[in-house]
Structure 1
Amino acid sequence: MNDRVQWIDVSKGIGIFLVIIGHTMIQGELRGQIYAFHMPLFFFISGYLFSNRRYPQIKQFVLAKARTILIPYISFSIISIVLMKIFQGGVIDFSSLIRSFLLSERNGIYFNQPLWFLTSLFTIEVIFYLLIKYIKKQFYMMLLVTAMSCFSVSVLDAVAGTKILPWSFDQSLYFLFYFAMGYRMKLTASRRANGTIKKSPLFMVSAVLYLLFLMDGKIYAKIFQIAIGETWHLHDYLFLYLNNIVWAMIAIHFIIYVSQFLSLSFLQYLGKNSLILLALHVSLGFNIINRFGASSLQAIFHQPNLLGLIYTILTIILLIPVITLINKYFPCILGRKKERKTDKTSNTKNNG
């Protein structure tokens, strides 16, 4: 995208920072807060960015998404396996490796667990393409999406993650809801004037509520129990499902609202390169720190959350040269074509 939306990059930047720090040694309570919404945030933004206008046929759409999602999955899987061999050594069990690569189960890709997001996103994109192609009324489409998401929790136990399916299909059905909500937000925003998110009562109220609930989580639990639990007397799995979704949506609205006011180039940089950071922060960044500086850092920083923050910052710094290298010389890893000099010259003339 030449004309990038700033708040999207900022939101993705915040999100990928939370992803990285969430994979460090931070304490359980903080990790729980992050895990409650950081992946729903990425699926929500992906839904906001979804478009099928250029692809009237499912085959065209699948091929396009295979290039931008599955090629990075394959590329970073190969890179991760090489890095695993470099840092860990030993004999590689190829049968186990191939099985892990093909199944792409959440928390089951032992050579680089975060890569599950890519195959899950590919699955969601294809499912959503079919939904909006054949279900014309948005109400019925959202009703079906909610039913599929609820099914993933009640039958497939997607929240607990005890029955992970190939390509994390159970997780995809659950996260499909957030994807669809992101798409709905785009449709709503397209009918309004630019910049209305800053003035949106929904986003302002969500931002205030999220901060309030963070200060005292008992307030949210009590309100939700009274409004939902005591009023509707829902089954436990449905109560848990709604509880997770409501909390995640409040947090997502908070991040998006705050992103309207942040123009930090650092966060925009992280957002623009979130795919590389997602794919390499564990397999390269963490491995370098663990190999060369873990003992020194642990001797200096004793508080787990502070140590996790240091790990996150160092990981990002270590990956900056890699990001530059990939973007400039190996964009094929990301499923992109290398920009030719003639294209750059043409763009310069157009911009001039």
Structure 2
Amino acid sequence: MTNEQKRIGWIDEFKGFVLLLVCLYHVEHAFPQAQMGMLHLSTLRMSAFFFISGMLFSTRRFPDFKSYLVHKTRVLLVPYILLSLLFLALDPVLYNFDLFPKAPRMTVMNIKPEIATVWDYIYWNLAKIFVAGKSSIGSGPLWFVFTLYSVSLMFYGVQKLAVLTARIPMLNRVQHDRKAKIATAVTAIVSLAGGWMLYKNHIRLPLGIERDLTVLFFFANGWLCKGALKDPRLRGDDTRGKNILALVVATIVAFAAYAYLEVPDPNFSIMNNILGKSLPIFVASSFFGIAGLVAAFILADKLPDIAPIRIVKGILRNISRNALVILAVHWYILLVMRLLFRDTFNKPGIVYLSIAIVAAGVIAAIPLFRCKLYRLLGKQPASVRDALNIQE
């Protein structure tokens, strides 16, 4: 492993951890008896995911927008559509409509449809996929794959606009970059304001444009921070003790501030652009939550390379690499359990067995998709060993 790879190795672990939180939240949502405190992390999970995605934004391999568009369409949009349709076809409600009352409710652009037949159910699921950009009921979490696709394309345009804005004669490279970053930051703030205004006025737009505006704020801030967060001096090789102490303090202070500011709200949803009662609280709690996670994972990157730590990091990296499969499959398993076995599992103590069942199902599905159904993921085929690998 090169120094460059090692220096930013915590990023995949960060993504894997956030995706794990998403899965646990869905368990808690499907079975209310599973009390894991996930509601308290609502303003953190998706904000952190899009922040770290912004850090990874790069157009270096793409000479123009067309090539970037083709790449993102292949690895994000096509998998979103194919997986959404696959899990719609596997939805138990299609084969036993009596299960419909137990299925998650659906809303399409403020419309709460009246569904009386299987064909109504199929029609509105297709509307969710292609009009609202929220995926089918059978693969609900894939909404943020589509959102990541949309926001990546939007941010490409933001970057081009920022560069044009910064083209002032007589500026050197450093000044030019600073102007471009200021333009990007201003655009991010304006975008968040637009998302907030649409939320306050209960406006839902096609393809989830209102949530794109909200998400673009976090995506842009991730990109703005990536220079500092990828700085090799963060490894603290020369002042290791001082650097670690600073990270410990930063982690504690950030999470304490998050705990103080965060207000649990069962209706909060970035997917639906429902952002809470206060914009400053939403932004501040998200900021401190993201800061706490970033500091914690940079700190974890400095821990001794012993087997238990290596295994945990490897599992998180594997979750990150297999995000598409995990997002779709864990939700589908929970959907089936919710429709068929909710009363069985939604009991104190027993409910936590659902986590083991979901984990086992996901582990079994990863090699199936990575080895046989890889075209649905926009990936190259992998061996079972590579698909489940948790080594460096």
TM > 0.5 fold call: yes
Instruction: Structure 1 unaligned segments of length 5 or more: list them.
Output: 222-236, 345-352
Contact residue 69 and residue 118 of structure 1 kept, 8 A: yes
Rounded Cα–Cα distance in structure 2 between residues aligned with 1:268 and 1:85: 32
TM-score between the two structures when normalised by the length of structure 2: 0.70
The residue that corresponds to 1:14 in the other structure is: 17
Percent of aligned positions with the same letter in both sequences?
A: 21
Deviation at 1:205, TM superposition (A): 4.3
Alignment of 1:1-352 (within 5 A): 5-24=8-27, 25-26=31-32, 30-85=37-92, 89-90=96-97, 91-93=118-120, 94-106=122-134, 109-136=136-163, 137-153=180-196, 155-157=197-199, 162-193=202-233, 195-196=235-236, 199=243, 204-213=248-257, 217=259, 219-220=260-261, 240-260=278-298, 261=300, 263=310, 264=312, 265-283=314-332, 285-290=333-338, 294-299=342-347, 301=349, 307=351, 309-338=352-381
Higher RCO, 1 vs 2 (CA within 8 Å, ≥6 residues apart): 1
1:99 is paired with a residue whose SS is: helix
Deviation at 1:31, TM superposition (A): 3.8
Rounded Cα–Cα distance in structure 2 between residues aligned with 1:96 and 1:166: 14
The verdict on how the C-alpha distance between 1:313 and 1:266 changes in structure 2, with shifts beyond 3 A counting, is farther
TM-score between the two structures when normalised by the length of structure 1: 0.77
Deviation at 1:168, TM superposition (A): 1.3
2:60 is paired with a residue whose SS is: coil
The verdict on how the C-alpha distance between 1:200 and 1:45 changes in structure 2, with shifts beyond 3 A counting, is farther
* 173-182 vs 92-101, which moves further: 92-101
Rounded Cα–Cα distance in structure 1 between residues aligned with 2:15 and 2:335: 24
- Give the total of aligned pairs: 314
Contact residue 88 and residue 137 of structure 2 kept, 8 A: no
Contact residue 105 and residue 164 of structure 1 kept, 8 A: no
Rounded Cα–Cα distance in structure 2 between residues aligned with 1:62 and 1:174: 21
Rounded Cα–Cα distance in structure 1 between residues aligned with 2:289 and 2:245: 15
Rounded Cα–Cα distance in structure 1 between residues aligned with 2:283 and 2:323: 24
2:190 is paired with a residue whose SS is: helix
CA distances 1:274-315 after superposition (whole Å, capped 9, x unpaired): 2211122212x213434665444334627xxxx3x5433421
Instruction: Structure 2 unaligned segments of length 5 or more: list them.
Output: 98-117, 164-179, 263-274, 301-308, 387-392
The residue that corresponds to 1:349 in the other structure is: none
Deviation at 1:50, TM superposition (A): 0.8
1:37 is paired with a residue whose SS is: helix
Deviation at 1:47, TM superposition (A): 0.7
Rounded Cα–Cα distance in structure 2 between residues aligned with 1:47 and 1:195: 21
The verdict on how the C-alpha distance between 1:32 and 1:162 changes in structure 2, with shifts beyond 3 A counting, is farther
2:183 is paired with a residue whose SS is: helix
Deviation at 1:70, TM superposition (A): 0.5
1:156 is paired with a residue whose SS is: helix
Contact residue 207 and residue 250 of structure 1 kept, 8 A: no
Contact residue 103 and residue 167 of structure 1 kept, 8 A: yes
Rounded Cα–Cα distance in structure 2 between residues aligned with 1:7 and 1:277: 20
Contact residue 104 and residue 116 of structure 1 kept, 8 A: no
Rounded Cα–Cα distance in structure 1 between residues aligned with 2:201 and 2:357: 31
2:37 is paired with a residue whose SS is: helix
Deviation at 1:245, TM superposition (A): 1.5
Rounded Cα–Cα distance in structure 2 between residues aligned with 1:247 and 1:277: 27
Deviation at 1:244, TM superposition (A): 1.1
Deviation at 1:335, TM superposition (A): 0.8
* CA RMSD in angstroms, aligned pairs only: 3.4
The verdict on how the C-alpha distance between 1:279 and 1:82 changes in structure 2, with shifts beyond 3 A counting, is same
The residue that corresponds to 1:227 in the other structure is: none
Contact residue 92 and residue 336 of structure 2 kept, 8 A: no
> Greater helix percent: which structure?
1
Rounded Cα–Cα distance in structure 2 between residues aligned with 1:39 and 1:200: 27
The verdict on how the C-alpha distance between 1:81 and 1:101 changes in structure 2, with shifts beyond 3 A counting, is same
Contact residue 75 and residue 379 of structure 2 kept, 8 A: yes
Rounded Cα–Cα distance in structure 2 between residues aligned with 1:310 and 1:51: 41
Rounded Cα–Cα distance in structure 1 between residues aligned with 2:227 and 2:140: 33
Rounded Cα–Cα distance in structure 2 between residues aligned with 1:326 and 1:133: 36
